[in-house]
Structure 1
Amino acid sequence: MHKSNFEFLTYDPKIKAILKGLSLTSSLFVSSIIIGKTHTGKKTIVRNIFPKAIFIDSSKPQEVKEAFENYSEIVLYNFENIKNLQELDFNNKRVVAIATEVQHLNIDDKFAFIYHLPELKDRLLDVDLLINKFTKSIKKELMVEKEITIDNNNIDLSKNIKSLKNSIYKQILYKNISKEDIEEILFEYFMDTLDGKNGYQDNLDIFEKPLIKAGLQKFKSQLKLSIVLGINRNTLRKKISEHDL
């Protein structure tokens, strides 16, 4: 596992290479670009290796131009939106660009080092590290003291670190919620949505569907679940079909 002088933990060899490369060139006047999907950690890496650099939004040409006139160390984020690349003189500058994609840009003559940051779905060993890290910080933030086990199979990686963190928030909140909390949430929901002439029937699925779904997963048997719920098996089968479980 790689651990640099800032908190970016990784087992991934590609990430280790990026960290090493940027660190080795952090005092040189050379330019680098990191390319990767949103919320993969690009800006976190750069911000910590280049803490004194000025960060400029590349989609604002005038701000980019002024930064090149006044600073020697510049971080250009949203680089995929840059408008005036060919006008910029990278000589005697330390420029680090951050982009989601650059197919439409001619970058080879501007950057000495081009790094590609993999998505979390391709860094599964790092997912466990991030789950442990965010679980601790979120529990502290929410003042949750009891032991909570995160279900790794229920983690959303579609938006990388952003969706992973949201998944952990949800799991911790759900596992720490009380009956009173649920009643209050439902109260607010019904205050906003209750209307019409068939409100009771229209909202029964809010109770029945999660109850039956949880029971099926917990007891693995319709017979056992029908006994626990106090209903006959035919009624249970009908409810399972109604709720498409």
Structure 2
Amino acid sequence: MQLMMIVVVLAATVAVAVTKFITASNASKEAFKTVNLLKTLTVNTLIYGERGTGKKTLAKYIVPNASVIDASSFEELLTAIESSNEIIITNIDSSPNIQRVFQAIKNKKIRVIATCASTNIGEMYDDIFSVKLDLPPLSKRMEDVEALIDIYLEEIKEIVRDDVKFNKSNFIPDVSDNSISLKKQIFSYSFLENITVNELMHLIENYLEDKIGTNNDYRNNLYLYEVPLIRAGLKKFKSQLQLADKLGLNRNTLRKKISENSEYGL
């Protein structure tokens, strides 16, 4: 007899970083208890949510020895189902023939942990998955985001050096793409916070190498120096008048430069 459908909707759940579950919030701690319960049950589970919320890592935690196959690799997936006792299927909603996949699962009676991005799934999923887990975006788990930041910073220190500077007071986490955007932002932010003069010049040199070759290159690329200088000055001095004085420029000259570079947010 098929198990009654269990829908577990988590207000906030486990944030995942590489191989760790983050349980900084009370809701995540409760969710982790549910996940540990699933490790002891031989039921099929569907984990859905936006990308970067930790669906695949959560699935691997439940069945650590299972093969991981993306549903878009149709023939590979069918072969894996026939030769395995348990399997992780990622992006199952992207399968080119979901009916055949489900039939193969039923025939083999294999245990499946699957992930998908959409919550708008058909009733056919109910016949396969007894448990559903909804992973909310990181924007609803800001306590977990703080813990993730610390984990990513530790990664950076291992790759670069232990004395990497990172000013959290001016840092606004980008969780628009969940852990994907957050990790990218932290690595970029750390690089910019710790960049040396020579590294900065080398970066600009590489950028300009393929963009120069005309008689107006010097003038056309001055904005690369002027825009960040004016931005930094306005942020520091809060006044065009004071900035013009500090830069040794006529106020009208500064206004002209700001106007010429308005497309860059000045």
TM-score (norm. length: structure 1): 0.88
- Name the % identity: 35
Equivalence for 1:46: 59
> How does 1:3-14 map onto structure 2 within 5 Å?
7-12=20-25
Task: Decide whether aligned partners of structure 1 residues 126 and 99 sit closer, same or farther in structure 2, where only a CA change above 3 A counts.
Answer: same
* Matches of 2:230 and 2:108, distance apart in 1: 66
Q: Quick check: 1:64 aligned with 2:88?
A: no
Equivalence for 2:7: none
* Matches of 2:208 and 2:162, distance apart in 1: 28
* Matches of 2:259 and 2:200, distance apart in 1: 26
Equivalence for 1:161: 179
Equivalence for 1:177: 195
Equivalence for 1:131: 149
- By relative contact order (CA 8 Å, sep 6+), the higher-ranking structure is 2
Q: Quick check: 1:35 aligned with 2:51?
A: no
The partner residue of 2:171 within 138, 152, 177 is 152
The partner residue of 2:253 within 225, 232, 235 is 235
Q: Secondary structure at the match of 1:136?
A: helix
**AA at the equivalent of 1:59:** S
> How does 1:98-117 map onto structure 2 within 5 Å?
98-101=115-118, 103-105=120-122, 106-117=124-135
Can you list the C-alpha shifts for 1:48-106, whole angstroms capped at 9, x where unaligned? 33211121222233333333333222111121123224413177532111111253532
* Matches of 1:67 and 1:17, distance apart in 2: 33
* Matches of 2:39 and 2:142, distance apart in 1: 28
**AA at the equivalent of 2:212:** L
Aligned residues: 243
Deviation at 1:179, TM superposition (A): 1.4
Unaligned residue ranges in structure 2 (runs of 5+): 1-12
Deviation at 1:210, TM superposition (A): 0.6
Equivalence for 1:79: 92
* Matches of 1:203 and 1:2, distance apart in 2: 46
* Matches of 2:78 and 2:68, distance apart in 1: 13
TM-score (norm. length: structure 2): 0.82
**Range that drifts further, 12-21 or 120-129:** 12-21
Q: Secondary structure at the match of 2:39?
A: coil
Preserved contact between residue 29 and residue 93 of structure 1 (Cα < 8 Å): no
Aligned-residue Cα RMSD (Å) equals 2.5
Equivalence for 1:89: 106
**AA at the equivalent of 1:72:** N
Preserved contact between residue 165 and residue 190 of structure 2 (Cα < 8 Å): no
Task: Decide whether aligned partners of structure 1 residues 130 and 3 sit closer, same or farther in structure 2, where only a CA change above 3 A counts.
Answer: closer
Q: Secondary structure at the match of 1:33?
A: strand
Q: Secondary structure at the match of 2:106?
A: coil
Q: Quick check: 1:20 aligned with 2:33?
A: yes
* Matches of 1:73 and 1:27, distance apart in 2: 14
Task: Decide whether aligned partners of structure 1 residues 77 and 221 sit closer, same or farther in structure 2, where only a CA change above 3 A counts.
Answer: same
